[in-house]
Amino acid sequence: TIDYQKILNTTVDNFYSEKISGEGSMGVVYKAFDKTLNRYVALKVLKKEHISKENKLLERFKLEAMNVASLQHPNIINVFSVGYCNSLNYIAMEYVKGEKLSDLLYSKNLNINKSLNIIYKVAKALEYSHSVGIIHRDIKPANIMISEVNNEVKVVDFGLSKTILSGDTNISRYGDIIGTPIYLAPELWESSTNVSFKCDIYSLGVVLYECVTGSFPYKGDNNNTLYKSILLNNYIEAISINPDIPIELNNLINKMLKRESSFRINIEEVIFDLENILNN
């Protein structure tokens, strides 16, 4: 295994890594300085130890780079390059100076209106990615950045993304569950092959619910009790936790969190409802 702390203050290709800014199941993300173009980047390095256990991880890592590089949207992170150096596979991406929604969530700075504006921009990003056949599959507060420069919202980490239009059937699951359990659409608990655009709607619905209530629609101390709560449909309406939520917003969240994906609204309807709520 590699000590990822030791990559700090070293150069990978032309990128000088200064600090670790995040870590996920697939990789470690560094704030790094691009010495060629004189700018900061987010340098995502694939965790090498996974490759021997799950040889499709490298394939998924490269797919992430291809998927995100193909996306051109103001609310989606830009990919600059992908490479291999010193036995490390990396993706160099736009560096966003700011904070994750997960850091902002439980601060006094996040009210209903600010939450709606953030979710609206994420929904616009998803509308675009879905239009070109890409499902994010891991929408959660840690994957939503708010830039401190202009409060721009950026969706990051397409590491679990799936390309619908090109098939993408050769890359199977790794680990027990693909995604983050509390934000995972119910159909994905049954099989990771049940992936559709509606999975992103559900995840975004959970994020919206969390933003306006500080809680979750289903309770569970672990994956088993959480799944049982979903199966038994022990759904807690957002308005019962926060009575200040407008009824239209409560209804939108309900529509996004329908247990059956066929009854769940699509991203265009989410945007339409959000615009109506924001404009009233």
Of 24, 14, 13, nearest to 4 by C-alpha is 24
Strand 27-34 to 15-23 pairing: antiparallel
Q: Are 125 and 73 in contact (CB under 8 A)?
A: yes
Q: Are 19 and 31 in contact (CB under 8 A)?
A: yes
Of 172, 103, 110, 173, nearest to 143 by C-alpha is 103
Distance CA 165, CA 250 (A): 33
- Write down the catalytic residue from 49, 59, 148, 275: 148
Distance CA 12, CA 91 (A): 11
Q: Which residues contact 54 (CB under 8 A, 6 or more apart)?
A: 174
Name the β-bridge partners of 154. Answer: 145
**Cα-flanking dihedrals φ and ψ of residue 267, to 5°?**
-65, -35
Give the H or E element holding residue 61: helix 56-69
49 an active-site residue? no
> Within 10 Å of residue 73's Cβ, how many Cβ atoms?
18
Q: Which residue's structure tokens are 């070293």? A: 10
Q: Which residues contact 22 (CB under 8 A, 6 or more apart)?
A: 28, 29, 142
* Residues known to be catalytic: 148
